[in-house]
Amino acid sequence: APVRRGSSGIGAATALELARCGARVILATRSARRGEAAASRIRRETGNNEVLFMRLDLASLRSVRAFASTFLRQEPQLHLLINNAGVSAGGTTEDGFSLPFQVNHLGHFLLTQLLLERLRSCAPSRVVIVASSAHCAGRLRPERLGRPPSGLFSAFQDYCDSKLANVLHARELATREQGTQVTCYAVHPGFVNTSLFRHAPLWLQALLVPLAWLLFLEAAEGAQAVLDCATQEGLEPLSGRYFTHSGPRVPWPAGRDDRLARALWEGSERLVGLGTPEG
């Protein structure tokens, strides 16, 4: 049973194709209305009734824990976890972290850790993390993880930082899961015409939306790179690598920094309360 994050855009397009292949798919998203509608549409289009919605709000670590608990109780099988959520908005979550960093990285990090034993017991299994070439502008500082950057373009910097975290998360997870048959891949799906920038400032939307219609891919095209990482045979030796439409690519230097990847992992554990008596 793949867990697929998303009720629209790349998430829904990926879930649709997985359902067409006969997989049992759990659509995990924040909005019950959109999630149920997407699951219903996919069941109707594919004839696969094994497509279900479960509520998950990555901006709430409490919600992530509740989702994982419910999933582990109800679903004995987990072979594929696709961490797809992406927001570009500024703001702060109920947990006190910057919104993009928590939704795009910390929430996914906690979810993956809580489901990791199930992935191991169902191995061979895969984790696919939807990253972005925007990681090129990421600047992660371990002592400031989760705090929004300052400056005029702080929301954009925050987004880039979270995408760098995605690339490093995949790299470190692959290192730690060597020998378990759990493999992990970070993927840049291309610049996709989705609602990613719907919360951006109006002046930025005015620049991005026309550009999106001209240059960006459709969601189904963007989903293909994700599907390749999820289903292509023989990728196991490439665990931890960064992929685009044209296969594995070398990430920007910060995305190859193993010391930073380890510091991000340890900092993320601390922020979400793992590895502590309370966690």
Domain boundaries, the chain: 86-272
The rounded distance, in Å, linking the Cα atoms of 193 and 153 is: 21
**Homologous superfamily of domain range 86-272:** NAD(P)-binding Rossmann-like Domain (3.40.50.720)
Specify the amino acid at residue 143: E
State the DSSP H helix or E strand holding residue 165, giving kind and residue range, or none if neither. helix 154-176
The C-alpha atoms of residue 175 and residue 254 are separated, in whole angstroms, by 17
Question: How do residues 208-261 score in pLDDT, each as one tens digit?
Answer: 454 444 444 454 566 888 999 999 999 999 999 999 888 899 999 999 999 999
Residue-wise pLDDT tens digits, 138-192: 899 999 999 988 776 788 889 889 999 999 999 999 999 999 999 999 999 865 4
Q: Give Cβ neighbours of residue 24 (< 8 Å, ≥ 6 apart).
A: 1, 2, 50, 51, 52, 77
Any alpha helices (H) in 21-153, and if so which ranges?
32-46, 61-74, 99-101, 107-121
Q: What is the pTM of this model?
A: 0.87
Q: Does the structure show a pLDDT above 50 at 65? A: yes
What is the average per-residue pLDDT within 197-209? 49
Q: Which candidate, 149, 126, 114, 138, places its Cα nearest to that of 236?
A: 126
Catalytically active residues are 159
Q: 8-22, 88-102, 116-130, 216-230: which range is least confident on average?
A: 216-230
